[in-house]
Amino acid sequence: MKTLDKCPVCAESSFDPFLTCKDYTSSGKVFDIVKCQSCGFTFTNPRPEVKDLWQYYKSEEYISHTDSNKGSLNRLYQLVRKYTLLKKLQLVVKLIGRPGLKHPLTLLDIGCGTGAFLAVCKNAGFSCTGIEPDPDARNLAIKNSWSNVMDETELGNLQPGSFNLISLWHVLEHVPDLNQRIEQVKELLMPTGRVIIAVPNRNSYDAKLYQEFWAAYDLPRHLYHFTPDTIRAIFEKHKMVVDQILPMRFDSFYVSLLSEKYRTGKLNYIKAIYTGIKSNISAIRSGNEFSSQIYILKKI
């Protein structure tokens, strides 16, 4: 196990216990989350060594790496994903325009999983590159998207300033060296480019309701547990600024469904729908506190 002695956001070294959560996906082990006394950032500490993290992803429960359709929960995930992929493509077009012969556009999707987002963007005419550390998911991504998909060790070999858009869809919370990855993203982005970051929000209604059973803590795969304030703080360190914050409204329902399963041992669709609606209403009233959120970033 590896223990961080400094906060990734502010570099202070005094932490308070925050939560203890069980890994419901693969190992059944228990892990701790701490909270920085200085800036309030929460992160998994201690966490598995980098060389050991891969084993916590080897489960059919981890849908983004398997494309599994087994069971009602997985089928529901795949159905919703078809709709959200189209919305993601619309967002990309809104941010950087449509590609054409005189207007080629390059997109890098870090943590592309099995390549669903890459495939949608490739079909729309974008020049797509994917990064995926898991070899099984990477092979599926190459097959599914007909794109150039590489291991994350190849990030350093990509041409600096060569991408109009870089996306990390529920990926930043998994990255062992947070500051190094943000600096790599900034280096690869064109001066006028945009970065899309999607992460869970521990300030959301459903996070506060479910506490240690909240599925989006997802220990130990999720190493960091963000809020809008901590996203702003860590990117400002790297001379990047949040331009927009957008909701991911479906996430509250899916996360609540999993959280109910973790808390009670059963899939309670009615309770999950009720909680998802309450979470979204609470987010609208409070402003930018949805279960998961999209952050659009640009260089300062």
The pTM (predicted TM-score) of the whole model is: 0.92
Q: What's residue 13's pLDDT?
A: 96
What are the beta bridge partners of residue 206?
A: none
Mean pLDDT of the chain: 92
The sign of the CA dihedral 201, 290, 56, 20 is positive
What are the beta bridge partners of residue 35?
A: 16, 42
Nearest to 122 by CA among 143, 94, 137: 143
At 223-244, the pLDDT tens digits run: 999 999 999 999 999 999 999 9
List the domains of the chain with CATH numbers: 63-299 (3.40.50.150)
DSSP symbols for 116-129: HHHHHHHHTT-EEE
What is the C-alpha separation between 262 and 296, in angstroms, rounded? 32
At 6-48, the pLDDT tens digits run: 999 999 999 999 999 999 999 999 999 999 999 999 999 999 9
- In the chain, pLDDT over 70 holds for what percent of residues? 93
Residue 203 sits at φ, ψ, to 5 deg, of -90, 0
